[in-house]
Structure 1
């Protein structure tokens, strides 16, 4: 586990990342429903969502490592 971040801090960071991911998802949906959606902005937001998803997965793996016997 990462020495500079406690497990509680990782859980808190994970919660924040999940909220940010959900907020971006809501923003993408709202923009997509507008009469003239900004496709460039949607693409940027989707890239940010993907980066957040990758970071969430990395932290989850750090908190719950696979133990191979």
Structure 2
């Protein structure tokens, strides 16, 4: 897999997590621990994307 393809894949996952975070936040009984875990995953993906972009 090329670096560009990997960046696209991670970007897609990052956007999916963003959508899930927004859905969960809109719920009246949002689980704060679950939201925290989703946000941490999103941050890790962003770090991976940035590292790959810097490596190009």
In the superposition, the TM-score normalised over structure 1's length comes to 0.78
Which consecutive unaligned segments of at least 5 residues does structure 1 have? 64-69
Provide runs of 4+ in structure 1 moved above 6 Å.
Answer: none
| Bigger helix fraction | 2
Q: 1: distance between equivalents of 2:28 and 2:39?
A: 19
SS of the aligned residue for 2:28 comes to coil
Which consecutive unaligned segments of at least 5 residues does structure 2 have? none
RMSD: 0.9
Structure 1 partner of 2:12:
19
- Greater RCO (Cα-Cα under 8 Å, separation 6 or more): 2
Larger Rg: 1
- Aligned pair count reads 56
